[in-house]
């Protein structure tokens, strides 16, 4: 038997004030996007904002549907729109923010497994790491690559 240890680096910030200006701006786009979420079933309003290598920021929100799982998460909505609108642009970073009951979640909001897989495909498509910023009022977490969130991923290779 052979074993290996997987290590990831997760940056943890105590709120927005510790973020760089670029990260803060991207989180603010995600926060605003969460206000447009259609979440009558879960009450969990998620926004995502993707920074592209052409300087554009594409943001979107989750869209639920009574015929679960026909809805779509904010991250995938933003990334699919970015790919359709700017097919030649690579994604440099994505920020995620969520609110429930009119208040942003206190801890970092992490993407679901399906979103992680789509984010990894964007990383591969753009041939560069995608920084993932997961916002919470009291705690913000960031990783330098989607691979850190999905180390043993499903891949064509």
> Could you tell me the residue ranges of all domains in the chain?
27-148
Kindly report the pTM of this predicted structure.
0.95
Element holding 75 (H helix, E strand): helix 74-85
76: phi then psi, degrees, rounded to nearest 5: -70, -40
Write the pLDDT tens digit of every residue in 25-73. 999 999 999 999 999 999 999 999 999 999 999 999 999 999 988 899 9
Q: Which residues are catalytic?
A: 75
Write the pLDDT tens digit of every residue in 102-124. 999 999 999 999 999 999 999 99
In sequence order, the β-bridge partners of residue 58 are 50
CATH code reported for the domain at 27-148: 3.40.140.10
The answer to whether the CB of 72 falls within 8 A of the CB of 56 is: no
Element holding 12 (H helix, E strand): strand 11-13
What residues have CB less than 8 Å from 110, skipping those under 6 apart?
Answer: 96, 134, 141, 149
């Amino acid at each position: 038997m052979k074993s290996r240890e997987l290590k990831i680096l997760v940056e943890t910030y105590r709120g927005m004030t510790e973020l760089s200006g670029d990260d803060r701006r991207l989180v603010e786009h995600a926060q605003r996007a969460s206000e447009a979420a259609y979440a009558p079933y879960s009450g969990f309003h998620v926004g995502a904002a993707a920074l592209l290598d052409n300087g554009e920021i594409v943001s979107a929100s989750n869209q639920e549907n009574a015929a679960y799982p026909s809805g779509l998460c904010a991250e995938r909505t933003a990334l699919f729109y970015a790919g359709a609108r700017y097919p030649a642009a690579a994604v440099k970073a994505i920020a995620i923010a969520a609110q429930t009951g009119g208040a942003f979640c206190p801890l970092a909001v992490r993407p679901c497994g399906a979103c992680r897989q789509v984010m990894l495909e964007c990383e591969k498509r753009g041939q560069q790491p995608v920084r993932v910023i997961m916002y919470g009022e009291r705690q913000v977490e960031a990783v330098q690559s989607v691979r850190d969130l999905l180390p043993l991923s499903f891949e064509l290779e």
